[in-house]
Amino acid sequence: MILIAIDHAHGAPRRGAFELVSAARGLGSDVAAVVLGGPEAAPVAAALAAFVPSVVHVDDAALDHPSHERRTTALASVAGELGAEVVLLVAGRGGQAVAPRLALRLGGTLLEDVAAVRRDGTAVVAERLAYLSRASLTVRATAAPVVVSVKPGAYPAAAPADAPGSVASRSVAFTAADDAARPGERRSVARGRVALEEADVVVCGGRGLGDAASFERLVVGLADELGAGVASTRAVVDAGWRPYDEQVGQTGKSVAPKLYFALGVSGAVQHLSGMNRSGTVVAVNKDGDAPIFKASDYGIVGDVREVLPALRAALAGLD
């Protein structure tokens, strides 16, 4: 059977959960979802039952914002009990840390950060990017169970199933090792704006914006108008104009929106590796030789300070 681990926030599954449903359906029809968390997670489990035949809710408040170790133990316990052959997680920050621990704990194999996963007979085969996303590898797991972390955005969100599934609650026992780490206070990024990995449109600004105020006015302004996520390059983050969690690239987030605006961004390999799976890419840069143009569908050679206000006016004028 295929087990999917559900990420959730504010009592609802994150979009990645529905992408995992799509990935799991491609591997088999016997799919179960596992939801971790106290009573606040109950509606998440109920929501998932519309998509998969069986949902397990590990109902324990110790799993609200858990350490990687607690999460690993809870998932390992459910995967073991259900005899999961494949466990799918979203390759966000949390999933990337839990998946390797889980794979080792289960004595299986890890296929991490994959763009696609399929069966080849009984084997599990995946496509993944390597070398700063410049190369694509087809990889096969040598031992079951196979833990797979799936890139956000790699699969479309699934539609509900024809028949609703069932929800079962269970508990899990933790060990002292699970409590060695003590996660503390969380600082979330500004609410109200769509999460970068979930955004259909991402507006990214680079050093070409000149300063923090212009970034705010031009990049954030356009993003808010489009209901888009805001991203930045490392140069912008290093300059202190924007927070780390907006950075896209090798050390930052990996995004694949339908539309990506790269504004005043040179297009360094480390940046491209975080955005080159985007659908349509638009670049605005005053240097016609900037490498970003080779990675773009539409390129405008010009000054962001002139092009952006004009673009906002033009977008507002579309009927």
Interaction residues for other proteins, span 174-233 (CB under 8 A): 177, 180-189, 195, 197, 201
- Residue identified by tokens 């999933």 is 95
> Can you tell me which of 287, 298, 310, 314 binds ligand FAD, judged by CB under 6 A?
287
Output the six-digit token pair for 295.
Answer: 């990675």
> How remote is the C-alpha of 163 from its chain's centroid?
28
Out of 250, 259, 277, 312, the only residue in the binding site for ligand FAD (CB under 6 A) is 250
Q: Applying CB under 8 A, does 262 fall inside the site for other proteins?
A: no
For the bound state, the minimum distance from the C-beta of residue 180 to other proteins, rounded and expressed in Å, comes to: 4
Decide: 85 and 146 in contact? Cβ < 8 Å: yes
The two tokens of residue 147 are 């833990």
Nearest to 218 by CA among 198, 200, 236, 235: 236
Cβ-closest residue to ligand FAD?
A: 249
Element housing 110 (H / E):
strand 109-120
Q: Residue 312 CB, nearest distance to ligand FAD (Å)?
A: 15
8, 14, 101, 207: residue in contact with ligand FAD (rule CB under 6 A):
207
In the complex, least distance from residue 77 CB atom to other proteins, rounded to whole angstroms: 15
Q: Does 242 bind ligand FAD (CB under 6 A)?
A: no
- Binding partner selected for residue 135 from other proteins, ligand FAD, none, CB under the kind-specific 5 to 8 Å limit: other proteins
How far apart CA 270 and CA 248 sit, in angstroms, is: 9
For residues 40 and 46, the answer to whether their CB atoms sit within 8 Å is no
Judged by beta carbon, residue 49 or residue 307, the one nearer ligand FAD is: 307
Specify the stretch interacting with other proteins by CB under 8 A; choose among 24-32, 35-43, 204-212, 304-312.
304-312
Q: Which two tokens stand for residue 305?
A: 């300070």
* From candidates 73, 77, 109, 233, binder to ligand FAD by CB under 6 A: 233
231 near ligand FAD, rule: CB under 6 A = no
Asked if 275 and 204 touch (Cβ cutoff 8 Å), the reply is yes
Picked from ligand FAD, other proteins, none, the partner binding residue 264 (CB below 5 to 8 A depending on kind) is ligand FAD
Instruction: Give the three-state DSSP class for 55.
Output: strand
Q: How far apart are CA 76 and CA 87, in angstroms?
A: 10
